[in-house]
Amino acid sequence: MSKIEHLTLRGTNVDLAADAVGPLDGQPVLFLHGSGQTRQSWGKALVEAARHGHRAISMDLRGHGDSGWSPDGAYSLTIFADDLRAVLAGFDRPPVIVGASLGGLVAMIVAATDPSAIHALVLVDITAHVDMEGAQEVIAFMSAGAGGFASVEEAAEAVAAYLPHRERPASSKGLARNLRLRDGRYYWHWDPAFMSMGADPRQQTEGPTVLETAARGLTIPTLLIRGGRSRVVTDEGARAFMDLVPHADYVHIDGAHHMVAGDANDAFNDAVMAFVDRQAG
């Protein structure tokens, strides 16, 4: 397999870090991570997409990983969507977008308003309607680490407590890539100002309306992947999405929670690649 390339893409007013691998003439597949994650979340999926002959790209959203932070500290679905539109303008052909959680919401908005810019869409455990209790659990975990950690091991303990169902990695090297060392403490690899997005009353009231409108407006091929044990997208939420987007395909992955790719990577990759291969054929 070819070596992973490190790219710098341009959002509306920030640089966005990305990795790419696979043939330049392959079907582009753009992976977008969820809140508080980075492009490293897609390591195995990126390699698998390239193995199938696709041009795989994973990108850090603004305020995450190695991408720039909002100069004014502002984050919203609209700002993320504008970044994605700017990035897509640089593609020679529309990509299939695989978006988890926040990345999926952003891609759904753009797919509904600019369908010619996206070839197909995979939504990973996210829909227009999420279970608020489950979503608050994610926010609580992110907020709990705002003060940083004394060591990588302490951060690993926090992750293990949040994901008790997942086998703890033998090495903490992967986790260390998601942390920044500053003033003797380890902080998550994202802008603390990003957390204000969830607390913004405008986001809480306008978000669901915007997202339902976006879901109804989807016309491109779409796949919803749901973790069978997800507390963010319930069975009812998945059915409601399929009612809004009747042409969409649906895959239920037993045993996986909200972070499907991390919980059941092989099953996740199989589902994504089967869909992407059909769209590229």
Task: Answer for the pair 224, 241: CB distance below 8 angstroms, yes or no.
Answer: yes
pLDDT tens, position by position, for the chain (281 residues)? 578 999 999 999 999 999 999 999 999 999 999 999 999 999 899 999 999 999 999 999 999 999 999 999 999 999 999 999 999 999 999 999 999 999 999 999 999 999 999 999 999 999 999 988 888 888 888 888 888 999 999 999 999 888 888 778 777 778 888 898 999 999 998 999 998 885 554 454 455 688 999 999 999 999 999 999 999 999 999 999 999 999 999 999 999 999 999 999 999 999 999 999 999 97
* Domains of the chain by residue range: 5-132+194-280
pLDDT of residue 143: 85
**What pLDDT is recorded for position 209?**
81
pLDDT for 139 equals 86
**What pLDDT shows up at residue 175?**
85
Residue type, position 73, single letter = G
pLDDT for the residue 67: 98
DSSP calls for the chain: -PPPEEEEEE-SSSEEEEEEES-TTSPEEEEE--TT--GGGGHHHHHHHHHTT-EEEEEPPTTBTTSPPPTT----HHHHHHHHHHHHTT-SSPPEEEEETHHHHHHHHHHHH-GGG-SEEEEES--SS--HHHHHHHHHHHHHTTT-BSSHHHHHHHHHHH-TTSPPPS-SHHHHTTEEEETTEEEESB-GGGGHHHH-HHHHHHHHHHHHHHHHT--S-EEEEEETT-SSS-HHHHHHHHHHSTT-EEEEETT--SSHHHHSHHHHHHHHHHHHHHHH-
Homologous superfamily (CATH) for 5-132+194-280: Alpha/Beta hydrolase fold, catalytic domain (3.40.50.1820)
